Structure 1
C-alpha cells in the first residue's frame, strides 16, 4: 500500500522545522555529562554528530523541532541504513515551491559519549539546500529540540564548546553575574518576552530564540505596535528558507534588552512579510533572537524548567558589523591554477635564460607549478551597491583581494574583509567567462543614507 504524503509546515531562519519529538538518551562515560568542541561559522554552531554510525556535521538550531538532513551523499545514506521511511512534503520560508522529503524512524544519534536512540530524521534530496558552499565547511543538516528536551545544554560561545548534562545529575548553580530568563514554548520551540527600543520607544516583544540564524535580530514590521523600520536602511538578501531565498530590509534600532543587559544600536533585519507568513502565524510572535546576539553570552538551556541562563562573555562588546560591499560569496569547488616560478642556479647550462656577472653564468630556469585552489564565486549582488557599481556580476570568480590570492583565505576570512570600516578600499582581481579584470570600490556606511 502506498502511503499518502504527509504535509508538515517548516519555518526557517537558516532552516527550521515543526514535528514531534522522540524521548530517550544516555551518556556512556560515567560522568553523566559530555563536552564537545564546535566551530562558530557565521555565528552558527557547527558540531560533529554520528547518525547510525556515519560521521556528519550539523548546525545546532534552537529554532527546529525535528532533525533534518539535506546533504547526504548516496554512500553516506547507504551506510546509515535509514529504515521505515514515510514520504512527506515540507513547506517553509522563502518564495519557492514546497520540498519533497521522507521521514525515517528509529535512528541513533551519537555525540561523543552521548547516545540518543529512537530518533526520527527528515531527509531532503535537494541540492539547493546545501549550505556547505555558503559556509565554507561541510554541513549535512540541522538538529535542535531532540537534543534540548532531555538534557541540560550549555553553549559556551567564548570557548566554543557544548556541554550536555543528564537532567538527573544537573546541579543548578547560577552565578552572581548571570541572568535567568523564563522561556515559553510553542510547538516545542523556545520563546522569550523582552523589549526593544525603536525611535525612542521601548516596545515589548516576543521572540523565537533561533541559534540557527546568523543575524542579530529579525523583527516583523507592525505599525500597530510601533515595530517599524526607520528611514535609514538598505534592501538585502537575508538568508535561505526551505523554499528559497528571503529578502528584506537591514537597519539598526536604538537598543535591545535581555534581562538586565542592554545592547545598544544592534543590527536588525525586517524580512518582507510575504516570505515569513508561516512564522507570523505563531500567536504574539514579533521576530527572532539569533546568533549574532546569542554569541555575546555563554548560555544554558534548561527546557525541563523552562529557563535560559545567560552570562555575558568576551564577545559582548563586539561591534555590530554588516557587509558593506553588497556582494555575497560561496565556495564553488576547486580549480587547477598553473603558476610560473624561476629556479636560479650558478654554472654552465645550455638551457634557460643566461646572464653573466663577472664571468659567472647565472642560469634562470622556468618551472611551472600546478596547485588546486578554491573557487569563490559571487552568488548574491545587491543593486546599486559598491560592488555592483564597480561592474561586478553574479557568477564572477574572485582570484585575489587587495593583491593577495584568495587561495590564502578561508571563505569566512575573505568575507570578513567586506565587514571592515566604511571607506576601506577593496581591490579585486576577477575571472569572468575566461577573462580576467580588476575591480575597485570602497565600503560604504549604508545606514547613513536616508531612504526617500
Structure 2
C-alpha cells in the first residue's frame, strides 16, 4: 500500500498555469490554527470546504495549483462558476485531459479562508483515486496554501498547524536540521545526499508530500545514479495522463544533513513517463511520504526554509509489498451475517413451577449487509501471487481464514508488507466461483 499512491504525483505538470493573486487569511485573533489530518498510505488528507461543501483533499507540496476531481457533479454541487476550458499534461504516456479553470471560489481549511480561490476541475471519470486509498479523496491542494503560512506538519500527532508568518516564533531546537529550499515553478527543492555502491552523491530533490513511496530517483550514469543488481519491475501508480511503471530497488543510505536513513526503498520511473514533469534539468528525483513521515516538519515558503526533526517513526525499517498484489475498493458486496439481536423467548421446557425462564432461539435470523468489495487491479509479473494463479479482476472474499469485510483496504494491504516467508491464504471469487490460493511472501532484497 506504500506505492500505489504515487498515483498522486500525477499532477506535477501543472507548471505553466500562472500565479493566483488570491490569499488565505486566518479568521481568529491568534493568527494560527490546528487541523487534524488522516495519514493514509503516507499521504496527508485534510478536510477542505469549497463553496460550503465539505470535502477531503490531499496536501501536496508537489503541485502548484488546487485541483478537484470531476467525479462529483461539479457545477451543481459546488456551484463552480467563471470557468474556461484548458488541457493538462502530467505523468503517463496518454493524451492531455480536459479541465475547467474556475475563479472566485470560497475555500476554507480550518480557520483559514480564501474568498477568491482558483480551482482546476479535472474532467476524467477514471481520475477517482478514492478506491485505491479506500477513503474519500476529492482533490489536491499545495502551493496555494503553503505560500501564505508557516506550516507545521506533525506526523506523530497527525496535526497540521497553519500560522501567519508575522505571528510565527521559531523555538530553539538542537536536534533539528534546517535547509534552504529552492523553488522552480512554485515547487520546493532541497539538496540531499544518496549513497549508491559506496559512493556518496549529492542530489537535488523535489519535496513531494503527495507521493506515498520513499524516494524516486532519475537514472543518470554520469553521476552514478543507477539501479543496483537487485530490483524488480513494477507498477508505480497512476499519472494524470496514464499509468506509470518503473523499477523498485534499494539504496544504501539517504541523508538530509546529519540525518541518515539506511536501506531506503527507491523507485526508478520509466523515462517515457517523465517527459512532461522533468522540466527542471537539475532535478534528480523526489522525497516522498515514506521518508517525510519520519520527521516532523516546519515548512516556511516565505523564508524558503524547511526544518526536519526526526520522530518515533525515524528508525522503522523500509518495507515493500512482497505479494505483488495491488487492491482497490471496487464497490460493495452483500454479506450474509447472523443477526444476534433477534431471538424468541419462552419458558424453559420441562419447568413446572414456571419460576425459571431462559431464552430459546427457535430460528436463526440472518441479515444482508453491504460491505466494501476489494478486487485485484494490478499484479506484478513473477510475483508470489501471480505464480500462485491469482489474476487481475479477482475479488477477495477472505484472507488467512477471515472474511475481508472485517478489514479496511489499508489493513489488508499491510498484510502484504510482513516479513518474508509469511504464509498467505486467500479465497477469491472469479466468474462467480470461489477459489482458494496459498502463497508465501518473498523479499528479493533480503541478504
When the two structures are superposed, what TM-score results if normalisation uses the length of structure 1? 0.91
For structure 1, the 5+ residue unaligned runs are 1-10, 350-361
Partners of 1:383 and 1:364 lie apart in 2 by 53
Structure 1 match to 2:216: 218
Structure 1 match to 2:69: 70
- Give, in angstroms, the shift of residue 340 of structure 1: 5.9
Aligned residues: 428
Deviations 1:240-272 (A, max 9, x none): 110111000000000000021000010000011
- Give, in angstroms, the shift of residue 70 of structure 1: 0.9
SS across alignment from 2:445: helix
How has the CA–CA distance of structure 1 residues 258 and 425 changed in structure 2, closer, same or farther, with 3 Å as cutoff?
same
Deviations 1:393-432 (A, max 9, x none): 1110111110111111111011000000001000111111
Larger CA deviation: 273-282 vs 391-400: 273-282
Structure 1 match to 2:117: 119
Residue 330 of structure 1 contacts residue 411 of structure 1 at CA under 8 Å; is this kept in 2?
yes
- Give, in angstroms, the shift of residue 15 of structure 1: 3.0
- Give, in angstroms, the shift of residue 346 of structure 1: 9.0
Structure 2 match to 1:58: 57
Partners of 1:447 and 1:437 lie apart in 2 by 31
- Give, in angstroms, the shift of residue 368 of structure 1: 2.5
Residue 21 of structure 1 contacts residue 145 of structure 1 at CA under 8 Å; is this kept in 2?
no
- Give, in angstroms, the shift of residue 69 of structure 1: 0.5
Structure 2 match to 1:207: 205
SS across alignment from 1:48: strand
Residue 10 of structure 2 contacts residue 91 of structure 2 at CA under 8 Å; is this kept in 1?
no
Partners of 1:59 and 1:344 lie apart in 2 by 47
- Give, in angstroms, the shift of residue 110 of structure 1: 0.4
SS across alignment from 1:257: strand
Alpha-carbon RMSD across the aligned residues, in angstroms, is 2.1
Partners of 1:307 and 1:339 lie apart in 2 by 55
Of the three residues 9, 12, 22, the one matched with 1:13 is 9
Of the three residues 376, 385, 390, the one matched with 1:387 is 385
Residue 233 of structure 2 contacts residue 245 of structure 2 at CA under 8 Å; is this kept in 1?
yes
Structure 2 match to 1:31: 30
- Give, in angstroms, the shift of residue 147 of structure 1: 0.4
Partners of 1:255 and 1:274 lie apart in 2 by 27
Of the three residues 181, 184, 198, the one matched with 1:183 is 181
Residue 396 of structure 2 contacts residue 426 of structure 2 at CA under 8 Å; is this kept in 1?
yes
Residue 152 of structure 2 contacts residue 297 of structure 2 at CA under 8 Å; is this kept in 1?
yes
Residue 326 of structure 1 contacts residue 382 of structure 1 at CA under 8 Å; is this kept in 2?
yes
Task: Say whether 1:45 aligns with 2:41.
Answer: no
Residue 71 of structure 2 contacts residue 125 of structure 2 at CA under 8 Å; is this kept in 1?
no
Of the three residues 372, 375, 378, the one matched with 1:377 is 375
Partners of 2:225 and 2:279 lie apart in 1 by 17
Residue 158 of structure 1 contacts residue 313 of structure 1 at CA under 8 Å; is this kept in 2?
yes
Structure 2 match to 1:166: 164
Partners of 2:405 and 2:279 lie apart in 1 by 45
Deviations 1:63-88 (A, max 9, x none): 000011014521x5413221111110
Partners of 2:55 and 2:344 lie apart in 1 by 50
SS across alignment from 2:117: strand
Partners of 1:427 and 1:364 lie apart in 2 by 36
Structure 2 match to 1:98: 96
Residue 20 of structure 1 contacts residue 65 of structure 1 at CA under 8 Å; is this kept in 2?
no
Aligned positions of 1:306-385 closer than 5 A: 306-339=304-337, 365-385=363-383
For structure 2, the 5+ residue unaligned runs are 1-6, 349-359
- Give, in angstroms, the shift of residue 281 of structure 1: 2.5
SS across alignment from 1:224: helix
Partners of 2:172 and 2:390 lie apart in 1 by 52
Structure 2 match to 1:404: 402
Structure 2 match to 1:6: none
SS across alignment from 1:103: strand
- Give, in angstroms, the shift of residue 383 of structure 1: 1.0
Partners of 2:265 and 2:157 lie apart in 1 by 24
Of the three residues 286, 301, 305, the one matched with 1:288 is 286
Partners of 1:163 and 1:100 lie apart in 2 by 34
